[in-house]
Amino acid sequence: MGCSNCGGPKGKPNGCKNNGGCSSGSCNRMNVHDWLANLPFSDPESGCRIVEISFNNGSRKDYFRNTTTQIFEKGDMVAVEGVSGFDVGSISMTGEIVRLQLKKKEIDERNPDFKKILRRASDRDLEIMATNKAREKDAMIRARAIARQLKLEMKMSEVEIQADGRKATFFYIADDRVDFRELIKIYASEFRLKVEMKQIGARQEAAKVGGIGSCGRELCCATWLSDFKSVNTTAARYQNLSINQSKLSGQCGRLKCCLNYELDTYLDALQNFPDNAETLQVTKGTAILIKKDIFRNLMWYALPQSSRQYPLTLETVKKIRQQNLQGTAPEELETVEVQASKHAEPEPEFVDVVGQISLRSLDKNERKKKQHQQRQQNRPPGPGHQQNRRDRK
């Protein structure tokens, strides 16, 4: 279970126990830092008896009741109640922070429907789990082939087999409703276990598959993001981003979730900008708003018969807007001088990226060669020139 960065003895990740979360994120997805662990009321004996357990390296999480006399810590492998058997998972969260999560998700702690923790996972349990988990890859390939043979409009995303091998959950993606009654019968006879079908969305599939985003970091949905909120192009327009589907879409093919991260900041900054200022009337014509710069409190306009862009302050826009409401128009737009940031580094004239000779050097050498040839052609013939001609004759 441990990775090369934080793996400890017996495969237990050191980071999950010592630092509250794996340092690399590859050991267990959706790690949670227990910031209530060192507080006095976080007593393991009188605290919350509900624990959160993760399966498939954090791909799925669920809550279980600890009815045993043992005290479990984060990272411990336990055997829990499954479907007609048992399942094995890793403790991901314990203590009072679980109670806060239950309150957030509106789950009653006294609900008797919680499944129970059976025991601490033994070596035999871990061996059985490893054997059955090794079947998931082949089961995925075979499940996709069967669905293709039945010509079902669905995409099999992941297969999760219970630790004891008595049940398998097939996660799939489909645009419409799929009649998979015949598919379940074939799966049950092919894999000889209980079959459960679960439909997920494109964002949930990206969370299960994982990957690297355009920012260079691991996907948010695969590391910490669990609540998926709707994202639309309005968020991009408020942030003055070009509506380019290829740049605004994530690995899932939907709009990036990070478009909502700074949206509140932009909305707060845009409250100071005047409303109904998309167009301004001046003597030269109608100035059309191009963009809003919240960092400099500027509004950029363009005139129809000019390629120039005019940056105006908010006070200037309000002043011209007030004049337009009174039926007058100024002679021209009072622009401000926009200076580059002091911290911006000057761009070099040429950057030799590949470590080879620059193109400018090649052009310079070619120019020198042409000038030398022209001088040779325009050079007047000397006395030796006539002597050479006589010798040739």
To 5 degrees, how large is the angle CA 169–CA 171–CA 174? 145
Percent of the chain with pLDDT over 90: 26
Report whether pLDDT(196) > 80: yes
d(CA 280, CA 314): 13
User: How much is the pLDDT for 183?
Assistant: 92
User: How much is the pLDDT for 59?
Assistant: 81
Crossing angle of the two packed helices 136-149 and 181-191, in degrees rounded to 10: 140
First to last CA, the chain: 93
> pLDDT tens, 175-185?
888 888 899 99
Report whether pLDDT(84) > 70: yes
**Sheet (strand 167-173) strand order:** 155-161, 167-173, 194-199
> pLDDT tens, 270-322?
888 988 888 898 888 888 888 888 888 899 898 887 888 888 999 999 999 88
Q: Residue 227 carries which DSSP code?
A: -
The model's pTM is 0.66
- Section 101-124 average pLDDT: 89
d(CA 92, CA 64): 11
The residue ranges of every structural domain in the chain are: 32-121, 132-204, 229-271, 272-339
Report whether pLDDT(163) > 50: yes
DSSP, residue by residue, 64-114: EE--SS----TT-EEEEE-SSSEEEEEEEE-THHHHHHHHHTT--TT-TT-
d(CA 362, CA 382): 33
- Section 236-250 average pLDDT: 87
d(CA 212, CA 217): 6
User: How much is the pLDDT for 385?
Assistant: 53
> Residue type for 389, please?
R
**Does domain 132-204 bear CATH number 3.30.300.20?**
yes
Q: What is the mean pLDDT of the chain?
A: 80
